[in-house]
Structure 1
């Protein structure tokens, strides 16, 4: 390679052979993932969860120091604030009410400890940890919500019971009330297959939650309920349906100080805001300009549980899936919320009374699902990234000119997710690509394209860059346009990258998401092929040099694409992906045990039809078509997609004489959390 010319000219070098300061070490060992921001309602003290290269989830407090915000770890060594409910975990902690209104005795935090599924209480100021519920092989807890009355011992949670669980659908879930003074656990709500979002009303007299049953998923058939809460007896009564119908979904129910229960409801083609007060009817908050925006996250995870290393390698488990906190009620006059349009996020403020709204114009294009939380009537915290700035925690102060309009007064960066500091100009910036499909149902195909970019190099005249296609997980997730160092690693070396939001991805409305129903493993793979052809015919890439990678359902897309479009790809990398959908049905966990009912089958199919579909859409039965080299990476303790899926694919290709490599990761589950080990292994 020619040396860099120190003058203000770029050195010409072949695409893919450029040198860059974005190193492998910067991606893995210097990265953190910031999630689950929370604020103590009594004191205003701010906390969040940070996962680090050692795979531990730390509780961190952000506080005002002499020269600005500082952060300190408050969770002692030996603990990790991460849950295992629904296998993905998340929703691992909540701040408890102090015994007095001022919170002078300091905040306490209830959390689920990952290693033994125990429930612990941390005294933040003394850093003493007291065990509330002993370790258990069968009981798991997540999604905690403390009673708002100072001194109340009650905390709501989702409990998962594996005591009678030889099969996934025999695992039982409940909404429970935990007495933090005595350790007593009472099952307050039961009978449904799944629960999320239990919470107390501001006066502590009612609770609300969402629930659904097999075969529905978090984006179909979810209903919200509320009931009266008897604090003295620790029981509920007068259970009442609030909203949600068959085929629709309700997500993120949240109580306002005005006595309304707010929630995001997919009654139309997009999830919109509704609210209802006890004794009243549900009402759409029809503020203008966002009729085609998605609000709230219809999620499979209880909180976004993604490691920085999953993020940095670019195949987040970012689905419409997770117990999320994408909006917050600052006051009776102001709600701040993440609005998603065509996969891009923005933060808006709206007045629920006047229905006036305004884009706050934050310099962020991708917001962490569990990352927006109220600080005061005029401030909130948010975790997000932009096209040229990595994920960070921010404080946003707004000013209300009147009761209907809000604007930013101050934006303060509190903490950031990477030790390496890069200049924004070194990064490639994404372009939203949208084009009509040429086959199958009438639709547009969406994605984000990052061209090669390096301040020091340029490609030879008349040549086009190679392409890496990024397929997201879920499969009903999406990839946003926020900074992804993994893709930038390749962009800076002369590769173009394209993150496809294939038919079925969320963030584009219900109609687009439902295109995947009955077509998983077919329409999404066709979209990938059409995207490569589109980028090639529009002269953005060299269509002869295309690779593809993805994790989980994105890994499944990789295998399917290599099987069904072998001439299109020069190589593939599959991370904890699915090779046999029938085997997945037999081995996966409860949450996903009926996932493919929607994705593969249609109501009119016979059992024979279903068997044929599963065989036709299982890459392991078509591995002989693969001609490109394939890398398979899989965690040995994966409970979502067991490592047997990797072995079946590897063994078949190897037996046929194909070029394949399997890298196993001891101690890793679904998604890689130990950055140093991943950097070494891959």
Structure 2
């Protein structure tokens, strides 16, 4: 063991290693008996690849660069592909990020190339597609269509539509058949009953977000493929239905938080739909916030059992018997399952991780109970001795309310710090804010902890995974409750002697960037902060300076702008830049339409000449959240350099020095 000051420990986990291992597989599904999924490619300009697992176990990328399988519907996107096994081989339909067109592709057909199915529109954001469902019997793909009708981000409509698979709509918008009646501003893709007689989907409207209140809608499918009159089966202004599927016996399954927790329910549309049957009433979550269209937390099996991702805080993959309410969880090292699960026969596939392993594709055989990794297998890029050891903690904030957090102390197999020194700590505020920080291996966290800088991820008020009451603690309290909770955790760590009170920092992106900026504005807890692609000006955000999905989000987070303008001005960091005295780093994607660069630029203009050391780095080609490896390398190294300068850490020239201006 060598003794060196906290923050100065040499580590094999450099920024390049962390960046190239960023991201997780997503949107798993079956094409015939094969498992397919999307995969991050940080070193390929941040694209998402489509990957299949062949019968011999080989993982094969379906489309070469620059194909980027990613939708922009509601800007956060969603499920971008669907596939089926045909007599000639697999057929896949996917969305390409560059033009947002739907494409069809037969990867096993010699000489085949992706062929467009939908046209390009020059109006606003154009035509976009998500959550496809193949209807081979009709020669169509049914999915959500997002169509811009003007140049403003809110000039948009969304419906369920049918696209011909023969390509006749590739240049003809009129060949696209609209199925739903447009009653809802936001919709998910249709889920068809086993007999094809009914379609079910979820819809909601401003100012609600999907975790506030949605409606489960049901309609008959006529012989000509059109929908009959739609009716609401479940949901409402204060009930969130997050997912709907059909059981193989023709009954409808859905998740609802009507009890305060997302639980599963069942109803038979052929009989009475007024009384839904709870399948496993528990004070834990069987679903989550629908940030991306097509996320799913359960999948029915042919046997009548249901694969479920569930838990409180952390999540597990279990098999639910809907007749008894019993859940048997899959055995294995995984402690976190992502919001994607698929079933085929007796096989269930999902995406799972743990504090010692990154996200990987896992298959559960429900006949044998055996779970195994079948794709994107975690492979330790460094000795696991350098990984952090997380502590699951509960802290207490104002009025004694519970605050959930993951604390990662500094950790290195070959170095310790002097006995008389306490470590610096960085509080990480997650995005959303309706989201949470999962307890998984993150090499960006290890990048800091292996150098002697502690990390505390805070699941502050408003986070998901702890029930509706915990989520609702942030209603009209954004910029207050989240800031107070993060500060309470930071100060508690200092008071108990875990962290150095003089060397506390805060960082976050998106809504976490807001919490970071607000924390630097209205508290003196932190010595510095890193603000990434943030919300900084509430009034501008609520007046058209963001995308449609979140354009009225602040109605619940802050209050109505027309009746509470004072809150918008009082809480916005951009309006109170004079209160910031701590150094900061601001990171921004220039292509960000959710939190646009204009907010960061106005904020910086107010900071000019005030004598506060800061740096601004803007990245071309990056949107909301960074996906390119070179971007993430520069961002991580700049963040470490900020902490080194503020906390007086000697990095011995291991990273470029961030130039701070005043």
In the superposition, the TM-score normalised over structure 2's length comes to 0.90
Equivalent position of 2:320 in the other structure: 350
Q: Secondary structure at the match of 2:128?
A: strand
Are the counterparts in 1 of residues 289 and 434 from structure 2 also a CA contact under 8 Å? Answer: no
Counterparts of 1:77-88 in structure 2 under 5 Å? 77-88=65-76
Aligned match of 2:95 in 85, 109, 112?
Answer: 112
Are the counterparts in 1 of residues 200 and 217 from structure 2 also a CA contact under 8 Å? Answer: yes
Q: Secondary structure at the match of 1:121?
A: strand
Q: Secondary structure at the match of 2:89?
A: coil
170 and 445 in structure 1: CA distance in 2 versus 1, 3 angstrom threshold: same
Q: CA deviation at 1:352?
A: 0.8
How many residues are matched?
619
Provide the C-alpha distance between the structure 1 equivalents of 2:539 and 2:609, rounded to a whole number of angstroms.
21
Provide the C-alpha distance between the structure 2 equivalents of 1:186 and 1:230, rounded to a whole number of angstroms.
14
Equivalent position of 1:14 in the other structure: 5
Q: Secondary structure at the match of 2:230?
A: strand
Q: CA deviation at 1:209?
A: 0.5
Equivalent position of 1:121 in the other structure: 104
Equivalent position of 2:538 in the other structure: 581
Equivalent position of 2:655 in the other structure: none
Equivalent position of 2:307 in the other structure: 336
Are the counterparts in 2 of residues 226 and 241 from structure 1 also a CA contact under 8 Å? Answer: yes
Q: CA deviation at 1:179?
A: 2.3
Equivalent position of 2:590 in the other structure: 636
Aligned match of 2:329 in 355, 359, 363?
Answer: 359
78 and 491 in structure 1: CA distance in 2 versus 1, 3 angstrom threshold: closer
> Deviations along 1:21-45, whole A, 9 cap, x unmatched?
11111111354531111102xx211
| Stretch deviating more after TM superposition (358-367 or 448-457) | 358-367
Q: CA deviation at 1:497?
A: 0.6
Equivalent position of 2:522 in the other structure: 564
Aligned match of 1:415 in 369, 376, 383?
Answer: 376
Aligned match of 2:199 in 199, 204, 207?
Answer: 207
336 and 29 in structure 1: CA distance in 2 versus 1, 3 angstrom threshold: same
Q: Secondary structure at the match of 1:673?
A: coil
Equivalent position of 1:51 in the other structure: 40
Are the counterparts in 2 of residues 333 and 353 from structure 1 also a CA contact under 8 Å? Answer: no
The alignment yields a C-alpha RMSD, in angstroms, of 1.8
165 and 234 in structure 1: CA distance in 2 versus 1, 3 angstrom threshold: farther
Equivalent position of 2:641 in the other structure: none
Q: CA deviation at 1:596?
A: 0.1
Q: Secondary structure at the match of 1:18?
A: coil
Q: CA deviation at 1:228?
A: 1.1
Are the counterparts in 2 of residues 467 and 498 from structure 1 also a CA contact under 8 Å? Answer: yes
Aligned match of 1:502 in 460, 465, 489?
Answer: 460
Equivalent position of 2:497 in the other structure: 539
User: Gapped runs of 5+ residues in structure 1?
Assistant: 1-9, 303-322, 401-407
Are the counterparts in 2 of residues 389 and 424 from structure 1 also a CA contact under 8 Å? Answer: no
Aligned match of 1:170 in 155, 158, 169?
Answer: 155
> Deviations along 1:83-136, whole A, 9 cap, x unmatched?
11101112111114x5xxxx3321111111111121110112135211111333
Provide the C-alpha distance between the structure 2 equivalents of 1:502 and 1:482, rounded to a whole number of angstroms.
18
Provide the C-alpha distance between the structure 2 equivalents of 1:91 and 1:468, rounded to a whole number of angstroms.
34
Are the counterparts in 1 of residues 288 and 465 from structure 2 also a CA contact under 8 Å? Answer: no
Aligned match of 2:292 in 277, 301, 310?
Answer: 301
Q: CA deviation at 1:286?
A: 4.0
Provide the C-alpha distance between the structure 2 equivalents of 1:347 and 1:219, rounded to a whole number of angstroms.
22
Equivalent position of 1:548 in the other structure: 506
> Deviations along 1:289-337, whole A, 9 cap, x unmatched?
xx111111231222xxxxxxxxxxxxxxxxxxxx312221123342121
Equivalent position of 1:91 in the other structure: 79
417 and 581 in structure 1: CA distance in 2 versus 1, 3 angstrom threshold: farther
Equivalent position of 1:140 in the other structure: 128
Q: Secondary structure at the match of 1:490?
A: helix
Are the counterparts in 1 of residues 51 and 59 from structure 2 also a CA contact under 8 Å? Answer: yes
Equivalent position of 1:316 in the other structure: none
Are the counterparts in 1 of residues 393 and 404 from structure 2 also a CA contact under 8 Å? Answer: yes
Are the counterparts in 2 of residues 653 and 659 from structure 1 also a CA contact under 8 Å? Answer: no
Provide the C-alpha distance between the structure 2 equivalents of 1:413 and 1:20, rounded to a whole number of angstroms.
31
Are the counterparts in 1 of residues 264 and 280 from structure 2 also a CA contact under 8 Å? Answer: no
Q: CA deviation at 1:165?
A: 4.3
Q: CA deviation at 1:510?
A: 0.3
Provide the C-alpha distance between the structure 1 equivalents of 2:7 and 2:277, rounded to a whole number of angstroms.
51
Instruction: Establish whether residue 161 from structure 1 lines up as the match of residue 147 from structure 2.
Output: yes
Q: CA deviation at 1:267?
A: 0.6
| Stretch deviating more after TM superposition (664-673 or 552-561) | 664-673
Provide the C-alpha distance between the structure 2 equivalents of 1:77 and 1:449, rounded to a whole number of angstroms.
38
Aligned match of 1:180 in 147, 155, 165?
Answer: 165
Are the counterparts in 1 of residues 144 and 188 from structure 2 also a CA contact under 8 Å? Answer: yes
Provide the C-alpha distance between the structure 2 equivalents of 1:545 and 1:217, rounded to a whole number of angstroms.
37
Q: CA deviation at 1:413?
A: 4.1
363 and 280 in structure 1: CA distance in 2 versus 1, 3 angstrom threshold: farther
| Stretch deviating more after TM superposition (259-268 or 176-185) | 176-185
Q: CA deviation at 1:164?
A: 2.8
Q: CA deviation at 1:620?
A: 1.2
Q: Secondary structure at the match of 1:26?
A: helix
Provide the C-alpha distance between the structure 1 equivalents of 2:10 and 2:352, rounded to a whole number of angstroms.
28
Q: CA deviation at 1:417?
A: 6.2
Equivalent position of 1:307 in the other structure: none
User: Gapped runs of 5+ residues in structure 2?
Assistant: 170-174, 639-662
In the superposition, the TM-score normalised over structure 1's length comes to 0.88
Provide the C-alpha distance between the structure 1 equivalents of 2:383 and 2:300, rounded to a whole number of angstroms.
35
Q: CA deviation at 1:422?
A: 3.1
Q: CA deviation at 1:240?
A: 2.1
Instruction: Establish whether residue 369 from structure 1 lines up as the match of residue 350 from structure 2.
Output: no
Provide the C-alpha distance between the structure 2 equivalents of 1:433 and 1:412, rounded to a whole number of angstroms.
30
Provide the C-alpha distance between the structure 1 equivalents of 2:329 and 2:25, rounded to a whole number of angstroms.
24
> Deviations along 1:31-82, whole A, 9 cap, x unmatched?
4531111102xx21121111212222111111232xxx22111114442111
Provide the C-alpha distance between the structure 2 equivalents of 1:564 and 1:284, rounded to a whole number of angstroms.
48
Aligned match of 1:619 in 551, 573, 586?
Answer: 573
Counterparts of 1:151-300 in structure 2 under 5 Å? 151-166=137-152, 168-181=153-166, 182-183=168-169, 184-189=175-180, 190-231=182-223, 233-278=224-269, 279-281=271-273, 282-287=275-280, 291-300=282-291
Are the counterparts in 1 of residues 395 and 405 from structure 2 also a CA contact under 8 Å? Answer: no
Equivalent position of 1:653 in the other structure: 607
Equivalent position of 2:385 in the other structure: 425
Are the counterparts in 1 of residues 491 and 501 from structure 2 also a CA contact under 8 Å? Answer: yes
Q: CA deviation at 1:19?
A: 1.2
Q: Secondary structure at the match of 2:228?
A: strand
